[in-house]
Amino acid sequence: MSSKQDRRAAILVALRAGFPKTTVYRVAQYLNEFNGNATPLRKTQDRSRSKKRTPKFLHELQERINDDPSTSMRYLVVKMNVDEKTIRTAVHEDFRSKSYASKAKISSQTIFHFLVEGDVPPSSPDCNLLDYYVWGVLERESNKHSHISVVSLKASIVEAVASMNKKHLVNACTRFRSRLEAVFEADGGWFE
């Protein structure tokens, strides 16, 4: 009988101390459930994420990512019931995945005309019409005399574009295909 009296006295003391009724009754209910044991039953926290990233866990995570590469990490957190930092660490450190690389891989699989780094020759002046013809003409025309300000330089460039010989521009454009074929024959090297 004394334990019931002690319990009642503790509830009255807590209520007189100003604790909310819901908190006091919740604590009392908790103590009833665990037979008056005041020490809570807690899981011991494993602070090491590497212990959670077991080979089995990593294999399951990799399979989920392979099934749908566009799955967000937050969605994986919810589905696998682990901490977000654990998923991010596994993806970035264990799988060495980079978001831009993943996006490029997904884009190359889904977009028909997606260009990857190795598919295109480097920026070669031999392949760019502006580099091998237009800029040369504009530079020659605009640098005939010195310019006092940026405004006069811009006006000179606009005038040079307007007065550019259309036949020469058409010839440069028609030579583009032959120049491109020459670059492919030279395996991207020097061809002139």
Per-residue model confidence as pLDDT tens digits over 75-102: 988 888 888 888 888 888 877 776 655 5
Would you say residue 20 has pLDDT above 80?
yes
pTM of the model: 0.32
pLDDT band, very low/low/confident/very high, at 21 (cuts 50, 70, 90): confident
Query: What is the rounded distance in angstroms from the CA atom of residue 76 to the CA atom of residue 65?
Result: 9
Q: If we measure between CA atoms, which residue out of 43, 44, 42, 7 comes closest to residue 27?
A: 7
